[in-house]
Structure 1
Amino acid sequence: MEVISRDGTTAQIDPLRFCQWLLKEVQRRGVTIHQPATATAIIKDSEDVLRGVRISEGDDTQSETELPCSRLVITSGAWSPRVFSTLFPSSKARIPVSSLAGHSLLVRNPHHKSEELDKEVCHAVFATDTLGFSPEWFARLGGELYLAGLNSTNIPLPEVATDVQASAKAIEQLKQCAKAMMVNVPGRDMEILREGLCFRPVTSSGRPIVSRIPDEKLGGIRTKDERTGGVYIAAGHGAWGISHAPGTGLVLSELIEGREASTNIEALQLPT
């Protein structure tokens, strides 16, 4: 066994709890959320300049709402290329983001004791491939163990995220892995909290794309100047989307407002 980090050198975040907190925080600050919703078309003025986006909300595809905007940000993960193609059907540009499907299992730590909550330490364990894949274990506060690492590039990306259905075969493989790697407590069965399948947005270079999309790639649509308009994209972070999200949000906001970025993102431009 090799120790790759020590106390004070790394940290772990729970994606679900982080996203729930983030949603509450942006709503507290006055952000309006349209969910579920589908972006269906760009709205332009008489001079073909972007002035809004049209969305359909819920399951009612016949009822649409127009949202005025001069700046548009596409951050739809593995679905970003589809969103771009839908909104800019005349564009010949390609968003080089594909999907990597990953199954996961969330189980209860059989050794967890609630009275020792404050003494718990979060751990991450990366194992070698002896079970058909390379398991990754993450121990979280509250007695949760997250098991992942069973990935595939062959599972088709569904139309929308709510259509995602985990493979029974893959989940069973994870369960057998959990049984093999956990030291079971006598008389206590493994408690499964959640079964999952997610599609991570990946790029061939391994680098995400955080960039303004040049107007010439918008298929005839123009935008206002850099400080008041533009179409932007942030996608392709792979398995590190949650951990890179705050920093990405920071430099993206600076990019949108025409300010100097806090870090050099030149290598994250949309490929020509």
Structure 2
Amino acid sequence: MSRLIKNLFALIPAFTYRRSHLAPPVQEPLLANNAADSTVILGAGIIGLSTAYSLSEMSKQTIYIVDPASKACVGASGQCEGAIGDFGVENELSPLNQLSYELYQQLAEQQSGKETFGYSGMDVHALSSHGFNSSDPHLPWPVQEPEDISNLPAWLKVPRGWVAGLIANQTHCARLDPPKFCRFLQKECESRGVRFLFNTTALSAATDASRRTLTGIKVLNKGSKKAMNIPCKNIVISAGSWSEKVFSTLFPSSRLRIPSTEQQPAQDWIRLKIKKPRRSEAGTKGSCQQIWLSADSEDLDIHMSSFLDGEFYAAGGFVDLSDIPDTPDKVTSPSHVTDIIEQNTREFLALGLGETVQAVGSGRALLPRLTTNLPIMAKAAWDDLFPSKTKLQEHSSPIAARPVGDDSDVAGGVFVSTGHYLDGFALGPASGKVVSELITGQSPSVDLSNFGFPKADEESGDSRDN
């Protein structure tokens, strides 16, 4: 839900909140020796984990997840607010968002979502110092109806003269605790035999040009400095803001490209805890609550929300980064920025007698944005990946008689799932499902015609609002 996840992220930097939340599993020896039975997923964020989860349901093949960080979901996937819903999307992403919301609901029902990963309905409110209008730049969606201050959560301190409005109720909106959900996905994947290789980067892809197939991928463990070859017939690139770099490293001669914006957007956030036992539920109705602030002061550009465990999340505005670190766990938030967010958040928390606020986490979430403002979820055509090899075959093999881009006889291939920008977490389950369907040769549950590799004249579109 494109605008719902504005400031709610979805998907890749340093995660400082409880850094032990996703401890890396023991890295087992590589056992697969049959490329026809293996898929390597590059990126251990919500998109990569969701792809492995769905693919392990659809196929018995061996699955690897490779990531340069020391654990899964150290980026935006583990740092986002975890808001999901079925409203606020009116563009090409709407069917995908609806599917993802349904998949989240199914998982919550099947896996005791409240206890397992903090699943709860969530009400979305607006609080304004000057009233509401449909073009308020501080609000991601318009207010649906005025709201009495008494309907707001008990933890919120409302300044005198401010007014409230309801944006969405928990019939259409929910939230999860992202670290807990990522941990759940990782454990589920491990239980199905998915192998994780952390502190590991991809170096090159091996192919059989005569058969137009992948045969493996060479990776390097940064700790041991040892390279290894993983036999595989499929490679999935789901590395968030690093996807363009990974793709060009593996396929330097490709005619395709992942058109990342020159500057990648990021958002700073904090997580707070009240230092004293208080309400057993975070909201006035036993659910989570989200508050968007609309103030005359540009310095008060934050929104905040509650978790079921009584903790609070707050995020500020966006910053654009020209240079990004080599790996997601090296992205950090300047302390003076999170200090401002924390100070502003404290002003709106209604503390009881003897209660104090403690910061338990902070960070900067880097959001993978493409120039088209839409994600790519597609299989790369062999002729576009290896135009030079295709050219050689024109003089030596009858295979070249096929139309360019016809991969009807190609087993496996290269799949890309990236550029989800504000919606990575919200669209994770659906993205994993449809890409897994592509890998296994099934018809995607959602029409993916809008999410292919862009043509040169399509790389500056603007399909989603900022």
Counterpart code for 2:224? D
Match of 2:196 among 4, 28, 33: 33
1:245 and 2:415 matched:
no
Alpha-carbon deviation of 1:67?
0.6
1:166 and 2:333 matched:
yes
Name the residue aligned to 1:258: 441
Report the secondary structure of 2:175's partner residue.
Answer: coil
Alpha-carbon deviation of 1:107?
0.4
Number of aligned residues:
271
User: Any idea what the Cα deviations from partners look like across 1:209-267, whole Å, max 9, x if unmatched?
Assistant: 11112223324468975773111111111122112100111111111112111111111
1:10 and 2:173 matched:
yes
1:143 and 2:306 matched:
no
User: Any idea what the Cα deviations from partners look like across 1:2-53, whole Å, max 9, x if unmatched?
Assistant: 2111232211122111100000000001111111211111122364742111
Counterpart code for 2:243? S
> Unaligned 5+ residue runs, structure 2?
1-163, 391-405, 456-466
1:72 and 2:235 matched:
yes
Cα pair distance change 1:267/1:116, threshold 3 Å: closer
The within-5 A match list for 1:1-272 is 1-45=164-208, 47=210, 49-61=213-225, 63-98=226-261, 99-109=264-274, 113=278, 115-116=280-281, 120-128=286-294, 130-132=297-299, 134-154=301-321, 156-220=323-387, 225=408, 228-272=411-455
Cα pair distance change 1:6/1:70, threshold 3 Å: same
TM-score by structure 2 length? 0.54
Distance 1:180 1:208 in 2: 37
User: Any idea what the Cα deviations from partners look like across 1:117-152, whole Å, max 9, x if unmatched?
Assistant: 796311122222534363121211111111113321
Distance 1:110 1:3 in 2: 29
Deviates more, 1:82-91 or 1:71-80: 82-91
Judge conservation of contact 1:52–1:70 (CA < 8 Å) in 2.
Answer: yes
Deviates more, 1:48-57 or 1:109-118: 109-118
TM-score by structure 1 length? 0.90
User: Any idea what the Cα deviations from partners look like across 1:144-198, whole Å, max 9, x if unmatched?
Assistant: 1111133211352110012122212211221222122223344433210101112
Counterpart code for 2:431? T
Deviates more, 1:201-210 or 1:33-42: 201-210
Report the secondary structure of 1:30's partner residue.
Answer: coil
Q: Percent identity over the alignment? A: 26
Judge conservation of contact 2:269–2:363 (CA < 8 Å) in 1.
Answer: yes
Deviates more, 1:5-14 or 1:115-124: 115-124
Cα pair distance change 1:162/1:117, threshold 3 Å: closer
Distance 1:94 1:46 in 2: 21
Cα pair distance change 1:227/1:162, threshold 3 Å: same
Deviates more, 1:162-171 or 1:192-201: 162-171
Judge conservation of contact 1:228–1:257 (CA < 8 Å) in 2.
Answer: no
